[in-house]
Amino acid sequence: MTAPILQDVLAAVPGQQLEMTELAPGVPASKENLATLWAHVQKNEGVKYTFPNGCAVYLTSPNSIHRTRVDLRAEVLGPIVTTGSGEIRCHTRPRLCIETHKNTPEGLLQCFRFAKQSLRQYNEQGLCSNCRSEDMVIPPWRKLKAVGMPYCADCMIVAIMSPPEADALQTPAKRTRRSRDSPSGRRSPDASQRTRRSRD
Ligand SMILES: [Zn+2]
């Protein structure tokens, strides 16, 4: 779910789509070079590549029920986190985003582009700070912030659709009366006791 949203957002922001005519400086994204790297990837069902920022990319092409590896998946993982409490602790990498392409040289290029774009977005914007409850899932999910926004796309959508808070629905008269009680509009029990004592 996360991957299509990320791609949709990137597609909608001019200049954000990563062009990849070169695999690396001086190394063109030619058919020959991609075929060489794709053949290397086929030697294993999955390989994890780590990066200096602590993230990792897990490239997998799992066997399907028909024993043919039709898909190539790029799973972007964050730096290792510790979850659980007490004796039950788990050191694991959270998932940041996943995208699946055809298990072909062209699909490998799509995986490279997706992983590179995701890691760049991680470096530039970091992770959504609003998704901590996802720690209960194993492995936990951490989501990249939506481009130019303070939270991930899912948290943004929840915030956008949330109804206004109860106070905002009060009539103007009620709001005025409540705002006289205390700056926040709610009088705490301690505050009311202090008021009574001062009157005595
Ligand atoms: Zn979020």
| Domain total of the chain | 2
> Residues 35, 105: one domain?
yes
Dist. CA 154 → ligand 1 center (Å): 6
Q: Are residues 175 and 155 in the same domain?
A: no
pLDDT value of residue 84:
73
Tell me the longest C-alpha to C-alpha distance in the chain. Answer: 90
Q: Rounded to the nearest whole angstrom, what is the distance from the C-alpha of residue 177 to the centroid of ligand 1?
A: 37
Give distance in angstroms: CA of 89 to centre of ligand 1.
24
Chain segment 69-105, per-residue pLDDT in tens = 899 999 999 999 887 777 887 788 989 999 999 999 9
Tokens standing for residue 112? 């490279």
Lowest mean pLDDT among 11-15, 24-28, 103-107: 11-15
List Cβ neighbours of 1 (8 Å cut-off, separation of 6 or more): 154
Question: 171 and 124 in one domain?
Answer: no
Q: Decide: 80 and 92 in contact? Cβ < 8 Å.
A: yes
pTM: 0.68
Q: Express each pLDDT in 119-146 by its tens digit.
A: 999 999 999 988 765 556 666 788 999 9
Same domain, residue pair 71 and 89: yes
Same domain, residue pair 55 and 133: yes
Q: Looking at the structure, do residues 7 and 99 belong to the same domain, yes or no? A: yes
Together in a domain, 114 and 154: yes
Q: How far is the CA of 134 from the centre of ligand 1 (A)?
A: 9
State whether 38 and 88 are in the same domain: yes
- Do 46 and 145 share a domain, yes or no? yes
Q: What is the pLDDT of residue 167?
A: 59
Q: Are residues 12 and 98 in the same domain?
A: yes
Task: Give me ligand 1 centre to Cα 47, in Å.
Answer: 28
Domain span at residue 19 reads 2-161
At position 32, the amino acid (one-letter code) is E
User: Binning pLDDT at 50, 70 and 90, where does residue 63 land?
Assistant: confident
Q: What is the pLDDT of residue 193?
A: 40
- Asked if residue 188 and residue 95 are part of one domain, the reply reads no
Q: What spacing in Å lies between the alpha carbon of 123 and ligand 1's midpoint?
A: 17
